[in-house]
Amino acid sequence: MPIDFSLTEEQRQLQALARRFAKEVILPVAQEYDEKEEVPWPVIEKLHEVGLLNAIIPEEYGGMGLKMLDEVIVGEELAYACMGIYTIPMASDLGITPVLLAGTEEQKRRFLKPLTEKPALAAFALSEPGNGSDAAALKTRAVRQGDHYVLNGTKMWISNGGEAEWVVVFATLNPELRHKGVVALVVEKGTPGFSAVKIHGKMGQRASGTYELVFEDVKVPVQNRLGEEGEGFKIAMNTLNKTRIPVAAGSVGVARRALDEAKKYAKEREAFGQPIASFQAIQFKLADMLIGIETARMYTYYAAWLVDRGLPHAHASAIAKAYASEIAFEAANQAIQIHGGYGYVREFPVEKLLRDVKLNQIYEGTNEIQRLIIARHILAE
Amino acid sequence: MILVVLDHDGTKLRKGSLEALTRARQLAQALGEKVAGVLLAEAGAPLEEARGYVETLYVAELGPYTAEKWAAGVLEAAKGGVKAIVAPSSRQSRAYMGRVAYALKAGLLEDTLESWAEGGEVYAIRYAYLNRVTQKVKSPPPVALTVKPNTTPLAEPLGQGGEVVALQVPPVATVEVLERVQEEKKGVSLTEADVVVTGGRGMGSAEAFKRVEELAALLGGAVGATRAVVDAGWRPYGEQVGQTGKTVQPTLYIALGVSGAVQHLAGMNKSKYIVAVNKDPEAPIFKHADYGIVGDVHQVLPALIEAVKKLKD
Amino acid sequence: MKFIAVIRQVPDGESRLRIQENRVDLSSATLILDQMDEYGVEEALRLKEKHGGEAIVVGFGPERAEEALRTALAMGMDRGIHVVHEGYADPVTVAEALAPLIREESPTLVLTGGQQADWDSQALGAALAEALGVPVVPWTTAIELEGETARAKHDLDEGAEWVRVKLPAVFTTQQGLNEPRYPTLPGIMKAKKKEIQKVAFQGNSRVEILEEIIQEKARLQRILDGKDPVAAAEELVRLLHEEAKVI
């Protein structure tokens, strides 16, 4: 049997756990933290307690060794309750992935183990104020001086950047070498010269902390370098090729929520003497939402399956991320439309879905960049 | 024989016993059997009242209630052979009847709304799935059947006192009652009341329940509470209506500041008329309401009390 | 010491029920470990953590009920026994099926839910106690072991009481007994390796379900605007008096 769409017993249990966690722990506080624009530490602590935080860390380093498909199952459930809150563990996995891909045994032990022993986060710093999508045009400089590097520059839009125990920072040794000059360095919290400034006034995903990171003559030991000099760009791209799949999973979760809220409202709300769910104009919207959810989930699972099988997955993860975030944005948009004026106010949860999921079209590579990756895949042959 | 367990409060029979008696008489007639009663007591029991309803009355005084003793008492009374044992539903009866049913390998028909015999078998209607589904079930005799309160007409006395037979119940001492935590008894019992006035989290405080009590008293009803209210310590556990509390089926159920969680609905959704007052028009309770007011319960409740007083004058 | 929790898998209270050919169809319902049984699992775990020994989960139900057993194992129960049976069985029949297996384990005590969320039975604990020849404490909100006996608090119809009960005994759960823990991810992974003994049961239920229907009473849905509380209250009382004729 070459194709199997069923989840294993453990995956179903994992899904049930994540669903229950989302409903009981995240859902009741989602609106509050969105309004306060604050990181919900009690939720992060609870995530750690039940073992869902940093769970992709392999068992030999104290983690649960979750595979990509497991992660995707969890991601959809957590994002259903709040995409912003889900971004926190998701961005931590984003920070962990380069260490898994390029770290030495000693580095894995040193950086990953502590993240399994207490509620703690990692972060990934690639974007800069002057360049996001053009990742090879880095301005952050690393200069080798004996047994350490001296780091100078600024990173922008870094999720968990101010909370993380350590951040994987991508810097250039020589800007003229473009992507061949990039090095990946693990910068630990509290290193002198390293500071994080929280970015306020975000449209959505306000429960996740987004930071500007400033490096002023920060000394990073050579033992904190992942891979070799010049391998940084490849490490960053290989990381994103994996971690944009959970973005797709989160998008599916948001879309599912949008459909549930829209369905509920459409069955209750009456117009012209009947529930608006009885009108085809509404029914078509609901049907379109489900078409999006089912196809996006299926493709997200497929992309995750490729990762777990060790098969090439760069274009698949790009398709999943772009497609799922777009159907989710449209689902949130239509959920607001179905709610009419009520959809536009905070008393109902649908406006938050739209604000939150907009970011899914932007971070971990804009959807335009995803299309470049896909096009490159098409034209490569 | 059809045996009916006559439950009482020490001085008089409970209403549920007379409902159970009606059911027992119906089964007896259909199966060609006689009805006998069993009256088990901790200390005092309404012996004279009870023997007015049955030709044979088995009695025993057993000391503080335990499921084991009551099961032993019922089994002793059933020794001559029974086609059915009928008891009013209560937390206690549903436990000792479980023991009795196992001991007799009887069909256990719990908390039935209706029951009848046909072709030598006993049929019943009962709820399942937290009161959301109505089941029709059957079992060959013997059956152990409990009767849901407020479902059955009350039995009339026979006109003459029946024979009283003292039971020799073998002693069971596996459970010793150490201390009883009595609830303050106010007015009518929750499960038997025709009117129940329940306050939810929306009441805001324990003090606010004075008005709930006032309305309940005016309507001759009982006070109920939701799980949130009981957990907050505003009202005693005994007043909780819902899955883990009591199931009520009054003629009129008034829900004040109650949102209508599934677990609460399980305890009251079979009430004849449901009235809801809640400031949130989206509260699920309104979907289950016959009448309702969308408004602040702290303003609506005093106005309701006044309006009822006006009506009574 | 050995603590046994008897569990079943039931539909989530919030999932929609459907009727197919006069019977409840659960094929599209979310199925969970009965929340009343979950209190029993949690209590068995707490007793084990405090006094040592083994915590065993015993489940009754179709093959799919294994998921509920796995949930209990993921919460921390040591091993499971699954009595496999399709369809409805009354509590006397379930007790007959479980008693021999439980007796073989010689448990210190047995816990099960105060009421089943599907068949709405409150009698499994009592029937099981009778089958095992031990006492039952229904609707328990506290258990303290004291050697050969336990002190327990449990609800009555009116009020509650503290009792001292000889062990072994069966306790049925009531809300308030504890706050069940989550089956954690490490727990789920460990549960994979825990043993579930499967036992087939062919016995026939004495009580038979003939028909199931969903009878949602149509409600009048006359909802008044309470902006003027006095007017709304008077109108409501008028409706209850003149239309419903209940006051």
Shortest Cα distance from C48 to chain B (angstroms)? 23
Cα angle C32, C34, C37 (rounded to 5 degrees) comes to 140
In DSSP terms, A141 is beta-bridged to: A152, A172
Q: Judge whether residue A349 has pLDDT over 90.
A: yes
pLDDT number for residue B160: 87
| C30, C188, C192: best to mutate for the A interface, most A CBs within 10 A | C188
Residue in A9, A12, A51 nearest the CB of C184: A51
Q: Cα–Cα distance between B183 and A185 in angstroms, integer?
A: 68
pLDDT number for residue A133: 67
Q: Phi and psi (nearest 5°) for A142?
A: -120, 130
pLDDT number for residue C215: 77
Confidence at A1, pLDDT banded by 50, 70, 90? low
Q: Cα–Cα distance between B200 and B203 in angstroms, integer?
A: 6
* Burial class for B114, CB neighbours closer than 10 Å (0-12, 13-18, 19+): middle
Numbered residues of chain C with Cβ closer than 8 Å to any chain A Cβ: 32, 66-67, 70-71, 74, 182-189, 191-192
Q: What is the per-residue pLDDT across C146-167, written as a single tens digit (0 to 9) for each?
A: 999 999 999 988 888 999 999 9
Q: What is the per-residue pLDDT across A183-222, written as a single tens digit (0 to 9) for each?
A: 999 999 999 999 999 999 999 999 999 999 999 999 999 9
Asked if C71 lies within 8 A of A13 by C-beta distance, the reply is yes
Shortest Cα distance from C63 to chain A (angstroms)? 12
SS3 content of chain C, % helix, strand, coil (to 5): 30, 35, 35
Nearest residue in B to C124, CA atom: B98
Length of chain A, please? 381
pLDDT number for residue B186: 62
Residue in B108, B244, B277 nearest the CB of C92: B108
Considering only CA atoms, which of A376, A222, A252 is closest in space to residue A312? A376
**Mean pLDDT on A346-367:** 95
DSSP alpha helix (H) spans, chain A: 9-21, 27-36, 41-50, 68-81, 83-102, 105-117, 232-268, 280-309, 314-339, 350-358, 367-379
| C36, C206, C211: best to mutate for the B interface, most B CBs within 10 A | C206
Dihedral-angle region of residue A258 (phi above 0 means left; psi in -120 to 50 means alpha; beta otherwise): alpha
Question: Which of residues A57 and A272 earns the better pLDDT score?
Answer: A57
Residue in C11, C114, C225 nearest the CB of B294: C225
Shortest Cα distance from B53 to chain C (angstroms)? 25
Strand order in the sheet with B195-199: B222-225, B195-199, B252-256, B273-278, B291-294, C222-225
**Chain B neighbors of C244, CB-CB under 8 A:** 252, 273, 290-291
Q: Where are the domains of chain C?
A: 2-200, 218-247
The tokens 């920070």 sit on which residue?
A: A95
Q: Where are any strands of DSSP class E within chain C?
A: 2-7, 9-11, 18-20, 23-25, 31-33, 54-61, 79-84, 109-112, 136-146, 149-155, 160-166, 169-173, 196-200, 208-213, 222-225
User: At how many degrees (to 10) do helices A83-102 and A350-358 cross?
Assistant: 30
The residues of A annotated as belonging to the active site are: 364
Q: Cα–Cα distance between C2 and B98 in angstroms, integer?
A: 24
Q: What is the per-residue pLDDT across B72-129, written as a single tens digit (0 to 9) for each?
A: 999 999 999 999 999 999 999 999 999 999 999 999 999 999 999 999 999 999 999 9
Residue A188 CA, chain-centre distance (Å), reads 21
The 8-class DSSP code of residue A8 comes to P
* Cβ contact B110:B30 at 8 Å: no
pLDDT number for residue A317: 98
The 8-class DSSP code of residue B63 comes to S
Q: Which CATH architecture has domain C2-200?
A: 3-Layer(aba) Sandwich (3.40)
Nearest residue in C to A10, CA atom: C188
Q: Judge whether residue B182 has pLDDT over 80.
A: no
Question: Which of residues B66 and C14 earns the better pLDDT score?
Answer: B66
Q: What is the per-residue pLDDT across A153-173, written as a single tens digit (0 to 9) for each?
A: 999 999 999 999 999 999 999
Q: Cα–Cα distance between A293 and A324 in angstroms, integer?
A: 8
**Mean pLDDT on C12-26:** 90
**Token pair in block for residue A189:** 């919290």
Confidence at A344, pLDDT banded by 50, 70, 90? very high
Q: Cα–Cα distance between C54 and A176 in angstroms, integer?
A: 66
Considering only CA atoms, which of A272, A321, A275, A328 is closest in space to residue A299? A321
Q: Cα–Cα distance between A5 and B221 in angstroms, integer?
A: 56
Shortest Cα distance from C232 to chain A (angstroms)? 23
